[in-house]
C-alpha cells in the first residue's frame, strides 16, 4: 500500500484514444508509472484508489504515465525514454553494488538513435534521473532521453548487474 516499489507497473491496453500518436495499440502490454495502480490511505486514514482508477481492473492512463510497450514480444520505449541496465561496480572500496550514473542501453528511443547512440552502448546519465524497474527478469533504469549525457567507450572490464534473486 505505502511503498511504491511493490506496486504493479504493467498493464494491458484495452482501448486507445483516437488522437493518440504513441504507436500503442489495443492488446499491447505497457510499463507505466507506479501511481497508476497504487492504493493509498488519505489523511483521514481511509483506503483510496489512485486518480487513474475507473472500474475493477480498469484504469485511465495519461500518455506521460506510459514509458514502454510490448508488441510481438518486442519492447518499444516511448519517445523521450530509454532503459539502461546498470553495471556492476568493480571498485572494492565502494559499498555500492552498481556503478553510479552509468549503464548499458537496452531499449532505445528514436531520438537517441538519431544522435548516434546504439543498443548496448555504455552511457552516463544525470543524477536522480533513473527510476528502477524489473523487466524480463532484469533490473533496468528508466531514464529520460534528455538525461543521457555521455557515451563511453567500453574498457572491456564492465559487467552488467544481474542480482541473483531475479
| Residue 106, in any domain of the structure | yes
Which helix (DSSP H) or strand (DSSP E) does residue 99 occupy?
A: strand 98-107
Q: If DSSP codes are grouped into helix, strand and coil, which group holds residue 105?
A: strand
pTM over 0.85, yes/no: no
Q: What is the pLDDT of residues 89-132, one digit of tens each?
A: 877 787 878 888 999 999 999 999 999 999 999 999 999 999 98
Please identify, among 21, 54, 74, the residue that sits at the C-terminal boundary of a domain: 74
d(CA 67, CA 159): 26
156 Cβ contact partners less than 8 Å away, ≥ 6 residues apart = none
Percent of the chain having pLDDT more than 70? 90
- The total number of structural domains in the chain stands at 2
Q: Which alpha helices (H) appear in the chain, and where do they start and end?
A: 110-114
Q: What is the pLDDT of residues 26-35, one digit of tens each?
A: 999 999 887 7
Residue 134 contacts residue 104 (beta carbons within 8 Å): no
Q: What is the span of the domain harbouring residue 90?
A: 79-152
Q: CATH code at 98?
A: 2.30.33.40
| Residue 120, in any domain of the structure | yes
Per-residue cell: 102: 552509468
Please identify, among 74, 107, 128, the residue that sits at the C-terminal boundary of a domain: 74
How many residues would you count in the chain?
Answer: 166
Per-residue cell: 164: 541473483
Amino acid at each position: 500500500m505505502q511503498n511504491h516499489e511493490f506496486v504493479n507497473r504493467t498493464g494491458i491496453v484495452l482501448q486507445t484514444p483516437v488522437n493518440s500518436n504513441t504507436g500503442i495499440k489495443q492488446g499491447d502490454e505497457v510499463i507505466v508509472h507506479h501511481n497508476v495502480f497504487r492504493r493509498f490511505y488519505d489523511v483521514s486514514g481511509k483506503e483510496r484508489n489512485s486518480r487513474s482508477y475507473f472500474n475493477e481492473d480498469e484504469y485511465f492512463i495519461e500518455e506521460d504515465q506510459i514509458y514502454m510497450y510490448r508488441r510481438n514480444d518486442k519492447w518499444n520505449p516511448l519517445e523521450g525514454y530509454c532503459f539502461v541496465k546498470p553495471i556492476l561496480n568493480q571498485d572494492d572500496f565502494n559499498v555500492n553494488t552498481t556503478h553510479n550514473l552509468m549503464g548499458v542501453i537496452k531499449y532505445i528511443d528514436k531520438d537517441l538513435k538519431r544522435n548516434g547512440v546504439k543498443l548496448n552502448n555504455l552511457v552516463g546519465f544525470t543524477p536522480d534521473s533513473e527510476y528502477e524497474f524489473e523487466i524480463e527478469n532484469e533490473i533496468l533504469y528508466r531514464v529520460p532521453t534528455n538525461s543521457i549525457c555521455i557515451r563511453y567507450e567500453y574498457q572491456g572490464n564492465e559487467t552488467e548487474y544481474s542480482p541473483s534473486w531475479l
